[in-house]
Amino acid sequence: MKKLHFATLFAGISVALIAPGAIAQKAAPSNADAVMKASFKDRGQAKVDRLDQDETQRLCSQYPEKRPKDVANKIEKLNLALVKYPSDGKLLGDWKEGEKIAQSGVGKQFSDNPANPSGGNCYACHQLSKEEISFGNIGPSLYNFGKLRGNTEAIQKYTYGKIYNAQAYSACSNMPRFGHNSILTAEQIKHVTALLLDPNSPVNK
């Protein structure tokens, strides 16, 4: 009984000590940015400035779920203007290279060598082929992506742009802005575009 009483008393003291901080944090959400920045430090290529939000991120934070139509339109228009298409006008690369990129999650982490190319880690969120037995479902299945949509110039441009900056087509998308944030190069995005559209790709088999 004494042990139980001591444990109860200790728990009560703990709550009393924690509660003021929790109340203060709830009362002053504006301090959240300062708290986060104080908690993180530069490590390798992962810098604290990753916490700095651009206009798109600020709007998505302001409207995390339902957002007014004019705000969604503003986000998409802003990001569509940021999409940079290849200077040579070619949007398709080698689907075999694209598959390597889709399966690789290396890059942009503090422990990764920035001299090495980044990967897309597409399988973490999407199904890409019927042979894949393990894949994420945060994003829609991309199996038969090109088979269902065709391979027109408009589809190629849309697919490249979606990979480059998903916010251009879907405001506050969970998909990373691979080109905009320099996660993937233009050449890599060409390869992933080919993976999705080439009829010989496992995506379209």
Amino acid letter, 67: R
Mean pLDDT of 156-162: 98
Q: What percent of the chain has pLDDT over 90?
A: 66
Enter the tokens of residue 172: 């506050």
Beta bridge partners of residue 46, listed in sequence order: 43
Cβ distance 51 to 37 under 8 Å? yes
Amino acid letter, 68: P
3-state secondary structure labels for all residues of 36-78: HHHHCCCECCECHHHHCCCHHHHHHHHCCCCCCHHHHHHHHHH
How far lies 82's CA from each of 58, 69, 77, 92, 192, in Å? 17, 20, 9, 20, 19
Burial environment of residue 177 by CB neighbours within 10 A (0 to 12, 13 to 18, 19 or more) = buried
Beta bridge partners of residue 43, listed in sequence order: 46
Judged against a pLDDT cut of 80, whether residue 51 lies above it is answered with yes
Quote the pTM value: 0.80
What digits encode the pLDDT tens for the residues 111-153? 888 899 999 999 999 999 998 888 999 999 999 999 999 999 9
Phi, psi (deg, nearest 5) at residue 22: -65, -40
